[in-house]
Amino acid sequence: MKSLSDSWVDTLLNWFREVRHPYPWREGRSPYRVWVSEVMLQQTVAATVEERFRRWMERFPDVESLASASEEEVLRMWEGLGYYNRARNLHKSAKILADQGFPESSQGWRSLPGVGPYTAAAIGSLVLREPSPVMDANVLRFLRRFCQEGTSGEELLQRVIPRESPGEFNEALMELGQQICRPRTPLCQECPLKSFCRFFRGGETEPPPQPRKVTIKESWVLMALLQGSLLMEKTLKGRFHGLWRPPILPKRGTLPPVEEMGELFPGGFRDLRSLPPREHLYTHYRELLFPLLFFVQEAGSFQAFSQERLKELPMPTVYRRLVDETLFP
């Protein structure tokens, strides 16, 4: 029998059943769909994931189609979600799953590339009905505010998680954290659990977050055209490993780096003009891009791609927009 102090679980589930958003990954649940959605949601908000999940499922409807795809195509389909190692790990794992089948426990899921304890617990509860609480950032924030001092949040969830619907319970907690118990501006008056919450009942407030120091990175983007094709280079390391972009040079002054450009394009260049600068904000730094459009006589060390081929190349989002708006206005 559930104790009075645990009645908040029923309140939470009733609230969730009324407000739950009909995300596409909540339809026709299968191990594959749940796994892909949980990886996409690891570091990307649900509103961004929603359309990209639909597009992904149209191209890769099952694990076999994903396993047989090229890495380039997988990265292209991942565009806009960021943190591209997630896509590479999905691709690696798909090849394992296509050969060995889906794991039958959350521990088995953890053996796959890129699947940590949070993702494994989510899959375990949603697909395998394992009563394992998901301890993601939203849930941890909720527990910090909700629990009495000295109470272990994880032990509390392990005790109260419904054995008949662990996945629904985990989804409800995560949605509460995303929509109501937000990091900076929690909507306490709208919270279905406010009468149970230590944070609300005690009238507590959190100190304002410390402003983060944002590093600014400035680069010239060399939009070099060769007989109607754009010159591109493949990034071999860093966050954009395996993606394509136009050549870039660090921006050290206000004038275009014509001397360095002459070294990159020994055949010369002409009709140089500046395009409007672009700004893109990443987690830990801000990037300012200063595009230069010009024509060259030879490709040098770069590869030339036609407009049609450019549409197929995987690129970081900010460069995709720049290429599209420059060449496909």
Q: What is the 3-state secondary structure (H, E, C) of 72-138?
A: HHHHHHHCCCCCCHHHHHHHHHHHHHHHHCCCCCHHHHHCCCCCCHHHHHHHHHHHCCCCCCCCCHH
User: Hunting for tokens 């190349």 — which residue is that?
Assistant: 313
pTM for the full predicted model: 0.83
Closest residue by Cα to residue 56 from 30, 79, 26, 72: 79
Spatial separation of the C-alpha atoms in residues 67 and 72, rounded to whole Å = 12
Question: CB of 142 within 8 A of CB of 177?
Answer: yes
Measuring CA to CA, which residue among 279, 220, 271 is closest to residue 247? 220
Specify the amino acid at residue 269: F
Q: How many Å from the N-terminal Cα to the C-terminal Cα in the chain?
A: 65
Output the pLDDT for position 4: 41
Q: What local confidence, expressed as pLDDT, does residue 2 receive?
A: 45
Low-confidence ranges of the chain (pLDDT < 50): 1-4
- pLDDT score of 151: 74
Tokens 């279905």 identify what position? Answer: 192
Classify 319 as helix, strand or coil: helix
Rounded to 5 degrees, what are φ and ψ at 173?
Answer: -65, -45
Catalytic residue among 27, 38, 71, 190: 38
Query: Using CB atoms within 10 A of its CB, is residue 311 exposed (0-12), middle (13-18) or buried (19+)?
Result: middle
What does the pLDDT read at residue 207?
A: 63
CA–CA separation, 135 vs 130, rounded Å? 14
Q: Which among 160, 157, 66 is positioned nearest to 118, based on CA atoms?
A: 157
155 is catalytic: no
> What are residue 305's phi and psi, to 5 degrees?
-130, 135
Domain extent listing, the chain: 4-201, 215-327
Q: What is the pLDDT, as a whole number, of residue 6?
A: 73
Crossing angle, helix 137-146 and helix 166-179, to 10 degrees? 80
Alpha carbon 293 to its chain's center: 31
pLDDT (0 to 100) of residue 239? 80
CA distance 7 to 272: 69
Structure tokens at 100: 């060995």
The CATH number of 215-327, from 3.90.79.10, 3.40.190.170, 3.40.50.300, 2.20.130.10, is 3.90.79.10
How many residues are recorded in the chain?
Answer: 329
Q: DSSP letter at 44?
A: S
Determine the Cα angle at 304 with ends 302 and 308, to 5°: 145
CB atoms within 10 A of CB 23: 17
* CATH fold for the domain made of 4-201: Endonuclease III; domain 1 (1.10.340)
